[in-house]
Amino acid sequence: MPIEAKLSAKKPARTDLLAYIITKEELDRPPSEFEANYLESHDFKGEEGQILFAQHNNYSLVLIGIGEESFVSAEKLRQAGVKLLRGIKNFKSITVDIGSCSYANEQKGQAVQAFLEGAFLGEYEFNLLKSKPEKPVKRTINILGSGANLKKAISRAESISFGVNTARDFVNLPGGDLTPVVFARKASVLAKENGMSVKVLDGLAIKKAKMGGILGVNRGSTQQPRFVQLTYKPQKSSTKHIVLVGKGVTFDAGGLSIKTAVGMSTMKCDMGGAAAVLGSMLATAQIAPNVKVTGLIPLTDNMLGGDATRPGDVLRIKNGKTVEVLNTDAEGRLILADALSVASDMKADAIIDLATLTGACMVALGSQYAGLMGTDETLIESLKQAGKQTGERVWHLPLPDEYRSQLDSNIADVKNIGSNWAGALTAGLFLKEFVSEEVPWAHLDIAGPAFADAPWGEHPKGGTGFGVRLLVDLIENF
């Protein structure tokens, strides 16, 4: 990582850069280095997102406003981190005073973690494919403070940002580069480096395991499919087990129900769920909470080769249920069906799947909210809570029994599409068919937030790594 963060007990030497995060209220007693009339003459009011530079007694100073004290939150501090690092590009070392508002005082660890996440994530650039990438400059952030709690906050921010930025890299790699085989290989290396165990099924093994959903979607492709299983086991034997499932369509052309050129142009992002599962497990393995976590990642692309699945074909999913495929572009649910069947047999305490599943969810919620559906109120509540803490916004949508009959098929157990309306919900209802009723299950449709058409918050254009922070927070508090 080009930025290193550490704790610093005292203010820096005078030639260094010193940054203050400050609320509107704190301006009544501004840092001693600032002269009150300087702030006034520059119209600095501590509004959220305001930033001011000053030179005083050889100090280079920066003030970053975060608005009113009573509204300070992890998310505001995260955005302050983004603002600071983007606002000042050319420094080698900076010391940051996280502030003395009540949030920063009472939850200093969380405040530092959020601020650093913003700094690390806001800095990200994807330049693996540039012929002459800019050399990253090594920079240091010194956080004013001390203690084991703050040390932990720093390393947690580092692990989470590593997970998110890895997921972003995976999403940003083109479909022609990151094939299922390459995804599986890269994921295995990273997982093993971080102490996880890995099992990879190749095409033959997937056939033997009777994963008819993956095989059906893969039929139109010259690329081999893969099924990756990652396991994080805590040192102490844990009584809890979470299974994560991620949609890994490395490119979605739509199959014979082909997409439009515009619709297809960002479809390298269709493995965003798989990337989030990998990224969150990498971060989890580093943070080492006392919960067992399994990641299941079905991988294929969705192409239109001569033997591609035809609309009307019937597939047999791993759990024995048959599916009439009436639209080959509704492929994510087919590969998830196999993975959810495997997950259901694991008798876990929770199953959570993440998928860039439907354009309908994007229409409903836009690019900053994931659709959240599921069968267990407690799990839904925990995910909502994790969303609040991490800034990864989720919105609870229903799984209405009234719409289930839309999936009835004349010739198979179910069909893979519903009517024209409520596409996110009928997709959720389809997935529910493949989850054991005994296991709490939640589904996150991340079609909107997985890929940014324009920069927002801490995200540049492209892969966002959405879901990593949400899952890590959920796992840690499970």
- In the complex, the residues that contact ligand BES under the rule CB under 6 A are 252, 270, 327, 329-332, 356-360, 362, 417, 423, 447
Identify which of residues 74 and 330 has a Cβ nearer to ligand BES in the complex: 330
Which residue is catalytic, options 333, 415, 432, 469?
333
Count CB neighbours of 148 within 10 A.
8
Q: At closest approach, how far in Å is the CB of 398 from ligand BES?
A: 18
Among 301, 324, 329, 338, binds Zn ion (CB under 5 A): 329
Least distance (Å) between residue 310 CB and ligand BES: 15
Q: Cβ closer to ligand BES: 101 or 362?
A: 362
Our CB check for ligand BES shows the closer of 150 and 372 to be 372
The entry of ligand BES, Zn ion, none near residue 294 (CB within 5 to 8 angstroms by kind) is none
Question: Among residues 151, 152, 210, 259, which one is catalytic?
Answer: 259
Q: Is 259 a catalytic residue?
A: yes
Residue 431: contacted member of Zn ion, ligand BES, none (CB under 5 to 8 Å, by partner type): none
Residue burial 441-460, b: 16+ Cβ < 10 Å; e: rest = bbbbbbbbbbbbeeeeebbb
Backbone angles phi, psi at 270, to 5 degrees: -80, 5
* Least spacing, CB of residue 423 vs ligand BES, in Å: 5
Question: What does 359 bind: Zn ion, ligand BES, none (CB cut-off 5 to 8 Å by kind)?
Answer: ligand BES
Would you call 321 a catalytic residue per the annotation? no
Measured between alpha carbons, how far is 78 from 95 in angstroms, rounded to an integer?
16
Binding-residue total with Zn ion (CB under 5 A): 6
**Residue 289 interacting entry, from ligand BES, Zn ion, none, C-beta within 5 to 8 Å by type:** none
Nearest approach, Cβ of residue 243 and ligand BES (Å)? 22
The nearer residue to Zn ion, 66 or 276, going by C-beta atoms, is: 276
55 versus 265: smaller Cβ distance to ligand BES:
265
394 binds, among Zn ion, ligand BES, none (CB under 5 to 8 A by kind): none
Q: Among residue numbers 206 through 265, which ones bind Zn ion (CB under 5 A)?
A: 249, 252
> Among residues 131 and 260, whose Cβ is nearest to ligand BES?
260
Could you say which of ligand BES, Zn ion, none residue 362 binds, taking C-beta under 5 to 8 angstroms by partner kind?
ligand BES
If the CB atoms of residues 22 and 365 are measured against ligand BES, the closer one turns out to be 365
Q: Which amino acid is at 472?
A: V
Distance CA 104, CA 313 (A): 58
CB 26 within 8 A of CB 46: yes
Q: Give CA separation, 184 vs 200, 237, 248, in Å.
A: 7, 28, 10
169 binds Zn ion, rule: CB under 5 A:
no
- Structural Rg of the chain based on CA atoms: 24
Stretch of 14-22, 47-55, 101-109, 269-277 lying at the interface with Zn ion (CB under 5 A): 269-277
Rounded Cα distance between 202 and 47, Å, is 55
Cβ neighbours, 10 Å, residue 134:
8
Please report, to the nearest 10 degrees, the dihedral formed by the alpha carbons of residues 208, 212, 213, 217 taken in order: 90
Label the pairing between strands 322-324 and 414-415. Answer: parallel
Residue with nearest beta carbon to ligand BES: 359
Output the smallest distance, CB 417 to ligand BES, in A: 4
Interface residue with Zn ion among 26, 117, 270, 324 (CB under 5 A) is 270
Nearer to ligand BES, 283 or 447 (CB): 447
Return phi, psi of residue 7, to 5°: -90, 150
Quickly tell me which residue has 């803490």 as its tokens: 389
Choose the contact partner of 423 out of Zn ion, ligand BES, none; CB within 5 to 8 A by kind. Answer: ligand BES
Q: Is 57 left (phi over 0), alpha (psi -120 to 50) or beta?
A: left
| Residues of this chain that bind Zn ion (CB under 5 A) | 249, 252, 270, 329, 331-332
Catalytic residues: 259, 333
